[in-house]
Amino acid sequence: MNQSVPPNQHILSLKITTHTVSLSRATIYRMMKKGEFPKSISLGGSRIGFIASEVAQWVDDKIAASRREAA
């Protein structure tokens, strides 16, 4: 099976996600609970991950909102 993964259609670990968005694990969990951050997916056991394209869209939305506020 030699299938390539489309850009941004990969899974980010919680550790990579915290570094990507500069938020702590606790903040990410709190924001997910409020519906303010993309939902995680189960990777089995106690491991979770995030869809890269959803995290990227969240970052883009935060940047856009910040630019609107500054204008």
State the DSSP H helix or E strand holding residue 11, giving kind and residue range, or none if neither.
strand 11-13
The whole-model pTM stands at 0.84
User: Exposed/middle/buried for 37, CB within 10 Å: 0-12, 13-18, 19+?
Assistant: buried
pLDDT tens per residue, range 27-64: 999 999 999 999 999 999 999 999 999 999 999 999 99
For the stretch 36-40, contacts whose Cβ atoms lie closer than 8 Å and that sit 24 or more positions apart, written own/partner, are 40/14
What confidence score (pLDDT) does residue 54 get?
A: 96
